Amino acid sequence: AGEPAPAGLPVVLWKRIEPTLAAAQAAQQNLANMRLEGVTGEQGRVSFDVEAGDYFVQVPSHRLDPTLVTVAESGGDWQEFDLPGVTRLEGRIRNSDGTPVANTSMWLHSGDQDYSTMSLYYTDADGRYAIENLAPKPYALSIIKSVADQSAQHVREVIGGGAPSQVFDVTFPPLTASIHGQLTDGNGVGIEGCWIGVEFLDAPHRSILAGWVGTDATGHFTVPRLEPGRHIVRTAWASFQNVYSEEVTLTAGEDREIDLVAPPIPGKHIRGHMIAADGGRRGGNLVFVRDGKAIKTATTSPPWIGPMWAPSM
């Protein structure tokens, strides 16, 4: 143990529950009694008046992940915790030409980037960022490449060194490659309003989402700002089985055409548009279609993407 934690540090105590859906739902309905909050006082001390049982202690600001403690039936329990987060990580994000990546967002992941998102941070107008209280362990920064595309990421790994401060600058590779193409059905007709994802396969540990766009009225799509390396193009959230391209290796400045063909879907198909009172499209609503045996749902796409789609009726 080192020096006491400063006063005023938020500490969260969670009551342990059984790993079942029913227990989770019950806890959600009784959150005030399942989640207790306190702040440290002098000498970094904080106390909770709770019944005997198992709890998790968490100090989010200092990267202390939920730590299991058991409170006995008799008397009070005294626990000591070492706060691992001590390093201030700061740096600057630049494009390949040296210009700052201004006002973009970046996700901090722990470990091997398994989507264990810890916090969201932002760069300023000069591309600079700062992250407080990192523990001496591996992290990954998932940086949004442009404010124009809040899904396209570039990932870099960093290891917290344990020092009070650490500088970690990032320069993007040339984001000048692109992929365009068309998504069609078995008859060659373009499919409107389907999401197309491009995954970058050369990122460490796992692929990342390098691009995310919707097809237009004729099924065409363009994915910009791709970096050199191996990619794969795929459909996502489609009414049919997802379609994947072959592996695509891009060089800087290259534009590649990749077309996708959706598999046939048996049964009757219903297409349509939600029409608002002013005659325009409505998006984001759920449409319930009854087939005589069950109720199936189909989600309308946002108005800038396209129509609803109720397959396999």
What CATH topology corresponds to 177-261?
A: Immunoglobulin-like (2.60.40)
Angle made by CA atoms 31, 33, 34, in degrees to the nearest 5: 60
61: tokens are: 């600001």
Query: Token pair 């070492």 is at which residue?
Result: 82
Beta bridge partners of 271: 309
The pLDDT of residue 105 is: 94
Q: What local confidence, expressed as pLDDT, does residue 313 receive?
A: 41
- 197: Cβ contacts below 8 Å, ≥ 6 apart: 209, 211, 212, 233, 234, 235, 236
Band of pLDDT at residue 19, cut at 50, 70 and 90: confident
Going by their DSSP bridges, the two strands 35-39 and 128-134 should be labelled as unpaired
Lowest mean pLDDT among 37-41, 208-212, 250-254, 268-272: 268-272
| Whole-number Å distance between alpha carbons of 21 and 23 | 5
Encode pLDDT of 152-166 as tens digits. 889 999 998 888 899
Cα 23 to Cα 260: distance, rounded to the nearest angstrom: 44
**Structure pTM?**
0.68
Which two three-digit tokens encode residue 266?
């048996």
Output b/e per residue, 256-289; b: 16+ Cβ within 10 A: bebebebeebeeeeeeeebeeeeeebebeeeeee
Query: Which conformational region is residue 29 in: left (phi greater than 0), alpha (psi within -120 to 50 degrees), or beta?
Result: alpha
User: Domain limits of the chain?
Assistant: 10-71, 87-171, 177-261, 270-310
Q: Output the pLDDT for position 268.
A: 60
| In CATH, 87-171 is 2.40.50.140 | no
pLDDT at 257: 98
Instruction: Choose among 74, 82, 208, 221: nearest CA to 152.
Output: 208
Query: In percent, how much of the chain has pLDDT > 90?
Result: 40
CA 177, CA 252: separation in Å to the nearest integer? 5
Task: Please check whether the two domains, 87-171 and 177-261, share a CATH topology.
Answer: yes
- By DSSP bridging, strand 35-39 and strand 10-15 are antiparallel
pLDDT digits 0-9 by tens, 218-267 = 999 999 999 999 999 999 877 777 899 999 999 999 999 999 998 876 66
pLDDT tops 90 at residue 118: no
Query: To which residue do tokens 């489609």 refer?
Result: 238
The burial of 31, by beta-carbon neighbours within 10 Å (0-12 exposed, 13-18 middle, 19 or more buried), is given as exposed
Using an 8 Å Cβ cutoff, are 115 and 98 in contact?
no
How far from each other are the two terminal CA atoms of the chain, in whole angstroms?
64
- Distance CA(173)–CA(269), nearest Å, equals 44
User: Higher-confidence residue: 192 or 146?
Assistant: 192
Structure tokens at 143: 């940086």
